[in-house]
Structure formats: structure tokens, C-alpha cells
Amino acid sequence: MENGIKKNLLPANGTHWKKWYVPLEEENATIRECLATQAPVAAGSADIPLIVRLIENPKFDIPGINLFNGAVSLEDHDVIHLLLGRGMLPKDEAFVIGFTMGSSNRMSTAEKKMYAFAAKYLYPGPYKFSDDDITVFKKAAHLGYVSDCQPLDTINCAELMDLSLKEARQRVGIEPDLLAAYYQIESQRFSQFEECLRITPQGREKLEAQINAEKLAG
């Protein structure tokens, strides 16, 4: 233990994206160190469906037309996952997208409804949002709006790479206490989902107990 933070909060190198996440309680590791623990992903940004890229990636913005505020590049999106202490499972994605859009302070109610419609009905396969995902997205958008952090679509993630998570969050204005309070609620409301359990220390203990029980039963 160093500065009260357990080193084992960082995932093992080569962790698959479905299991990869760095808890909000981790503060000492740098952004670069955290990203290095991800297993290489064969699919690149070009493999992401066009409708998703058109909506979520700013390089596809049409001059004079801005459907959704808060769009960021794929690389910056991964950094925001770390700043918010979320993994890559569906409700993690819904939260990160919602918080990022909400933090722009330019997301209208109509825009929120339009994005939810697109994610539920237009996104293909694994990118499609469920009703529960949309609930998380909307809660996150509100949380991003009330947060005093910088608009996350405007931060220079390259400048954060060698900062510790604590330093990076302070630089951007991320409020861990605000996130932790909401994560307690989400973890209890959606306790049947792994990504919602693991975002709190208590949820991770419950998840570990479930895994151990399954191993014993098997």
C-alpha cells in the first residue's frame, strides 16, 4: 500500500476490454500506465460503424452542423474512461458518453432525447443502448452538467498522459466525491450488472464473493 492506495487496483497487463477498468479509488498510476494495461484491440476506429463515428467523433462534424455536443476522438474517449473510473462495458460507455456530453454545458433536452433515440434504434449490434443504458446515459449527462469540471471535449489529453490519475483529475476539475456518491446509487440500482457493481468498493467485494461462490459450486 502506498499513500493509502492499494497497488492491485490497477488491472494486470493485457487485460481484455470486457474486464478492464481502473477504479475511481486508484490515484497513483499515470494515465499512460493505466492505458498500457489494456490488451491490444484488433478493431480500430475504422471498424466502428459509420453511424457511431458520425455521431461521436468530432472529425466527422459537418461545418455549420453540430448534432451532438461533446464528441471526442477514440483516444481521448479512453482517457476519459480513466478520469471517470469506468471500464468498457455497456453502462460504462453510456456513463462516459453522457458525462462527456453533459460537461459541455451545451446539451439541450432535445439533443439528449435525439442521442438516446439514435443509440437505441440506429446503433447496430453491440453499440445499441438498452433502456437501462439510456437511464445511465441521462443520469450521467445531468451529472456532467452540474459538475464544475472543464468541458471534457475540450481538454488536451496528450498533456495528461504522464500525470497521476489524481493529478489529471485535479487538472481537469473532476470531482471524485461527486462521482463516488452517484456510483453508490448506480451500483445499488443496477446490481445485476458487473460494470455497475465494480464501481464501488462494496460492489467489488460482492462481485468477488459471487465469483468465488461460482467457482466453489463448479
Three-class DSSP category at 54: helix
Tell me if residue 15 falls in helix, strand or coil. Answer: strand
**Is residue 208 included in any domain, yes or no?**
yes
Number of compact structural domains in the chain: 1
pLDDT tens track for 80-128: 999 999 999 999 999 999 999 999 988 888 888 999 999 999 998 888 9
pLDDT given for residue 73 in this prediction: 82
Name the residue with higher pLDDT: 5 or 55: 55
Phi-psi region of 3 (alpha: psi -120 to 50; beta: other; left: phi over 0): left
**What is the chain's alpha carbon radius of gyration, rounded to the nearest angstrom?**
17
Indicate the pLDDT class of residue 75, thresholds 50, 70 and 90.
confident
pLDDT band per the 50, 70, 90 thresholds, residue 28: very high
Question: 52: burial class by Cβ within 10 Å (0-12, 13-18, 19+)?
Answer: middle
Q: Is residue 201 part of a domain?
A: yes
Would residue 1 count as lying in a domain?
A: no
CA distances to 47, 125, 166, 211 from 79, in Å: 20, 24, 13, 29
Spatial separation of the C-alpha atoms in residues 56 and 115, rounded to whole Å: 10
Percent of the chain with pLDDT over 90: 65
- Among 71-75, 76-80, 126-130, 197-201, the minimum mean pLDDT is found in 71-75
Report yes or no on 2 lying in a domain: no
Residue 187 has pLDDT above 70, yes or no: yes
Is residue 11 one of the residues assigned to a domain? yes
Please give the model's pTM, rounded to 2 decimal places. Answer: 0.88
Q: Which secondary-structure segment (H or E) carries 35?
A: helix 31-35
Domain of residue 23: give its range: 7-217
Q: Is residue 117 part of a domain?
A: yes
